[in-house]
A and B are shown apart, each in its own frame.
Chain A
Amino acid sequence: MKALNRTGLIFFPAYDWEISPTHPERQERLLYTQDQIMEEGLLDIEGIHEFKAGFATEHDIQRVHFCVPDVASRITTSHNISAGGCIEAARHVLEGDVDKAFALVRPPGHHSMRVVHGARGFCNINIEAIMVEWIRRNYPRIKKIAIVDTDCHHGDGSQDIFWHDPRVLYISLHQDGRTLYPGSGFPREFGGPNAFGMTVNVPLPPRTSDRGFLFVIENLVLPILKEFKPDLVVNSAGQDNHYSDPITDMAFTARGYARLNEMLSPDICVLEGGYSIEAALPYVNTGIILALAGLDYSYLREPGLDTESIKEGQKILDYIARLTDNILEKWYNKEKLRSEYYEGEAYVKRDKSIYYDTDGISESQTEEVRVCDKCPGVFKIDSQASTGYRILGIHIPWGACQECREKGLEWFNEAKGPYYGVYLQDMDADRYRVRLL
């Protein structure tokens, strides 16, 4: 047996880290997955290589986040290694050691937004976003990146971070936010004025199973990717759409996940959520690894799986077909819609209330972006949290035009008022500055 695609695996189960002893994010989470991977002998297959995880630096994290008051007080070493594991996965792909890689790491990251006051949805820092910015810094040939998030929960953190970025396409398939945390991820959330259509949300009805998911991949995700032409595709491979997951209500199977990855053929997969640690993760992860490697997974199935009983009904499939049509139509019309919404606007503001469920913190934000047709547009975030911290974060994007750059520096230098500090991300200069007030 030989892998058609050379595939790298970064396995970091963090056997000595937990949020709390009975929390879903606990030591035991990847134990049975490791047992299954070892018993299947996956790492012995020619063309499958296991690599050691690494550490993300503070600077790697600062390219993405405004951690308040600073990085060190918002993360633990486990987060460093989880993000570092993703970076190592990317490094081995981009150096050509392997064709594809899977960062099977924990803790997860896709609920972490640009400003970090604490942990939400079990996430402190956004491990994919940190990887994406590390890639763009170190491999300038990678210009356009697509993230396809197949975790059952809407990746509101990833959406927030790339909201204004026209070169990162973020597509999320998730259980409808009216029925599940974090309650966002509707088709109307479509990206900022400079990146309209670069956020695509597909809220799927509860009980969606293999046919529904794969229909969306085939009829929505692949056509959009074909037009976007990314240089790199990342799958945020959450595994809580599985029919056995204890905290969600979907009906996806291990073989479905494998087929999804076969169709999507991502360059890098990153584990996100998934808390059915015995009945789903061992099989889903095996399926993803086999699919990435281009190996046969047709013999894989969960013990006791009854495909018929979890099959979605025709009503659900019809609903998904209509949803797909509507989103696709909107996507093809994104230029026209953009000018309808934003024509003549110089700045666009949005207000957000954010709740950090894991840490019990509330935050209110006002974000203001410069509408720009020369670059992705500078933006600033005024953020106040129930912890007492209020900060102003300014982001000068990759390839910022002269006006946006000057505006960003002006905001940074002239900010006064009730802030604990003013933070600046200057992507092209790869600089992070903090001015405490």
Chain B
Amino acid sequence: MMLGIDVGGTHTDAIIIDGGEITASAKKVTRKQDLVGSIVDAVIGLGIDVARVKRVVLSTTLATNSIVENTLAPVGMVVSAGPGIDPREYFLNEDFYLVKGAIDHRGREYQGLSDREVVDAGRKLKARSIEGIGIVSKFSVRNPMHENRMHYLLANEFKYISMGHQMSGSLNFPRRIYTAYFNTAVMPLQHGFLKSVGDAFRDMGINADILILKADGGTITHDAAFRLPVETILSGPAASIMGAIALTGERRTALVLDIGGTTTDIGVLVKGVPLMQPQGVDMAGKKTLVRGLDLLSLGLAGDSTVVVEDGKIRIGPGRKGPPACLGGTSPTPTDALSVMGLFDKGERRRAEEAFESIAQVLDKGVEEVARQVIKKFCQELRSAVTEFIDVLNSRPVYTIHDMIYPELISPETVIVVGGPAGSFCSLMEDTFGLECKVPQYHEVANAIGACLARTTARITLVADTHLGKLICPELDIEKDIPGDYSPDDVKVFGMERLDELYRYLGMEDRPDIDVVEEQSFNMVRGFRTVGKNIRLRMQTRPGVLSLSRA
């Protein structure tokens, strides 16, 4: 028996999957001041024997909210950079310290770290009673020696510490700074929350491991979430997309529309695999290295407010409350569906009343207005999606092969989930000219996605046979390699490490491992080949446990 929980801004959804069937679901209002209580309510609402639960996956917006509401703990940052863009450009406040030390693009140190400056920065942060720090150096993913040294010098002084190279193996110094910053910033909150949830579950008699959903639609263990809480921020949209995959088993290239009250999130599956942001997601306006699904989020949804501006209908992007037919005050696309007879909940009469003033202004009948609202809704959705796909398809490529044989995304089908999904199905079919399906249980797709999401892990390997070094920053591996180390050797080494990691992260079966990037360059100095520079990125394929095996 598996339990999936999605704590959303409005509702907390819980679902039970047992023997390949969805056997129970519950939806409760989220109490923002008592998230643990909301979770407990939802679980109780399932009415099940909780002792049988073997796996729990939790998706939560807790950290997201505290970032948005800026209720984060203060964080000190100690940064070494060396020449380039002035690193102080990225400093957010006086708790950011720049220390001497520089490493180049191949991971060679060319300016030693100043221990004295590091210790000094630590002392000043301590004096301000700061408990958490981030440690970042430029090119630390090519050589973490300065970050490791800073950690050694400061570890005893601070309760919460994040090191840049452990956040991600990608190059991008400013993003590394912000990723480490947010990771430390949400640690106290996330630690407290996870501990309370664990306690509450034990009190209820649930003894299963708790997994946490990440923004990339994969899960990590409770322990890993302690170390990398930043990965679990923004998991909400991922939950729904993973739910859509679980409910349809789609293996083709597809658009997934999660039509909610306030926003519609649009994700893309390429041959059944969700598409990720190339670098990382944005948090509170800062770019990070946190992997997340590449989503288009539009303020064009079921509860978006409909108004008339300069004689034209405008939908959203705001929401003033529920649709008029469900007790709200302003007309919404859901009300337009109600008027047209495509939405049968609530009171159609109230929907019609809500459109009357617009009908008067436009000198048209209420039904005609409703028709126009829906037409406009579909047009705007289509043009935003078309533009989104165009942008995805015009991403630069770096080899002649990829220029000649581009892998263009061309959706073959549409999956719609979310509250009002059922009413939108035939409209979406017409809008995109594609087959469209609304799976059963789509209104709790988020909790199902959380419940069935698989563990994901991704590692980066850079081998430089000229320097005789292999590095895997995410796993803190540095290894001496012989001069004849080959791309295949790197791949085998990476496979073994990823397999170990995967087992450590709590997955029982063997993962599908994809090599997502692979490059090998002969290094030539003075007309002589002196070595190979090999770069590999591999990951466990994001996906869901099949319902039948669950």
Task: List chain A positions with a Cβ less than 8 A from chain B.
Answer: 1, 10-17, 21-22, 26-28, 31-32, 34-36, 38-42, 44, 50-53, 55, 77-78, 81, 246, 278, 282-283, 286, 290, 295-296, 298-304
Contacts and interface: CB of A to CB of B under 8 A. Distances in A.
Nearest to A35: B105
Contact of A299 (B83, B110, B139, B399): B83
Interface stretch (B307-315, B340-348, B481-489, B523-531): B523-531
Residue with the greatest number of chain B CB neighbours at <10 A, chosen from A11, A12, A290, A301: A12
Given A32-B105, A303-B110, A53 B173 contact: no
B84 A52 contact: no
A14 B102 contact: no
A316 B319 CA distance: 70
Interface string B162-189: 0000000011111100000000000000
A246 B524 CA distance: 12
Given A27-B522, A39-B172, A246-B526, A299 B394 contact: no
Given A26-B522, A27-B522, A44-B174, A53 B396 contact: yes
Given A16-B399, A286-B84, A298-B86, A36 B394 contact: no
A13 B401 CA distance: 12
Given A11-B396, A32-B105, A55-B403, A21 B173 contact: no
Contact of B527 (A11, A22, A32, A50): A22
Contacts of B521: 15, 27-28, 31
Contact of B84 (A32, A44, A299): A299
B85 A12 contact: no
Contacts of B174: 40-41, 44
A286 B105 CA distance: 13
B450 to A, nearest CB: 30
User: Nearest 4 pairs between A and B by C-beta?
Assistant: A299-B86, A41-B174, A303-B110, A38-B171
Interface in B84-101: 84-87, 89
B173 A17 contact: no
A301 B524 contact: no
Given A31-B521, A246-B526, A12 B398 contact: yes
Contacts of B104: 303
Nearest to A28: B521
A39 B138 contact: yes
5 contacts: A11-B398, A16-B401, A40-B85, A44-B287, A283-B83
Given A52-B396, A299-B85, 12 more contacts: A1-B85, A12-B398, A16-B401, A39-B139, A39-B173, A41-B172, A42-B85, A53-B396, A286-B85, A295-B85, A298-B86, A303-B102
Contact of B403 (A50, A51, A53, A283): A53
A127 to B, nearest CB: 15
B127 interface: no
B403 A81 contact: yes
A52 B83 contact: no
Interface of B: 82-87, 89, 102, 104-106, 110-111, 138-139, 170-175, 279, 287, 394-401, 403-404, 519, 521-524, 526-529, 533
B111 to A, nearest CB: 8
B524 A78 contact: no
Given A21-B529, A53-B396, A81-B400, A35 B85 contact: no
B399 A282 contact: no
A283 B85 CA distance: 11
Nearest to A81: B403
Given A32-B106, A51-B396, A303-B104, A77 B403 contact: yes
A14 B83 contact: no
A22 B106 CA distance: 20
A13 B398 contact: yes
A52 B397 contact: yes
A47 B500 CA distance: 42
A282 B85 contact: no
A51 to B, nearest CB: 7
Contacts of B399: 14-16
Nearest to A18: B522
A34 B287 CA distance: 19
A65 to B, nearest CB: 21
B527 to A, nearest CB: 5
Nearest to A246: B526
Nearest to A37: B171
Given A22-B528, A278-B106, A303-B83, A17 B400 contact: yes
Nearest to A12: B398
Contacts of B170: 38
B83 A300 contact: yes
Contacts of A298: 86
A278 B84 CA distance: 15
A282 B105 contact: yes
A15 B524 contact: no
Nearest to B172: A41
A299 B404 CA distance: 39
A304 B110 CA distance: 7
Contacts of A11: 396, 398
A14 B105 contact: no
Contacts of B524: 21-22, 26, 28
Contacts of A52: 394-397
A28 B527 CA distance: 13
A22 B396 contact: no
Nearest to B280: A44
Contacts of B398: 11-15, 34
Nearest to A286: B84
A40 B86 CA distance: 10
Contacts of B82: 303
Contact of A300 (B84, B105, B397): B84
Contact of B105 (A12, A36, A78): A36
Residue of A10, A11, A28, A39 with highest tally of chain B CB at under 10 A: A39
A49 to B, nearest CB: 10
A301 B521 CA distance: 26
B400 A77 contact: yes
Contacts of B529: 21-22
Nearest to A84: B403
Contacts of A77: 400, 403-404
Contacts of A303: 82-83, 102, 104, 110-111
Contacts of A286: 84-85
Contacts of B279: 44
Contacts of A44: 172, 174-175, 279, 287
B86 A38 contact: no
Contacts of A78: 400
B171 A35 contact: yes
A16 B519 CA distance: 10
B164 to A, nearest CB: 11
B86 to A, nearest CB: 4
Contacts of B138: 39
Contacts of A41: 85, 172-175, 287
Nearest to A14: B400
A301 B85 CA distance: 10
A301 B83 contact: yes
A14 B519 CA distance: 12
Contacts of B111: 303
